[in-house]
């Protein structure tokens, strides 16, 4: 089985939510690739599935910040 994906030339930042674990991780990756600042709400799904995702991605050189409510 093969998937061929033709994406947009660029992604634009947006306010999004993480409705589940995998979608949340996808939103983080899309936000890192997007131009501008992406804000992801409902990150408790990500927290439950990934230990210190922000810290791990930051170690790779990403500009990511967690804001506590």
Per-residue pLDDT at 61: 94
Q: pLDDT per residue over 4-57, tens digit each?
A: 888 888 999 999 999 999 999 999 999 999 999 999 999 999 999 999 999 999
pLDDT at res. 6: 87
Long-range pairs, 45-53, Cβ under 8 A, ≥24 = 45/18, 45/19, 45/20, 45/21, 46/18, 46/21, 48/21, 49/21, 49/24, 49/25, 50/21, 50/25, 53/25, 53/28
List C-alpha distances in Å: 38 to 2, 11, 13, 17: 30, 10, 5, 10
| pLDDT score of 7 | 82
């Amino acid at each position: 089985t093969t998937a061929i994906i033709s994406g947009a030339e660029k992604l634009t930042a947006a306010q999004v939510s993480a409705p589940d674990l995998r979608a949340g991780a996808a939103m983080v990756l899309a936000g890192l690739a997007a131009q501008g600042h992406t804000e992801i709400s409902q990150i408790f799904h990500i927290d439950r599935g990934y230990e210190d995702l922000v810290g791990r991605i930051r170690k790779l050189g990403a500009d990511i910040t967690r804001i506590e409510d």
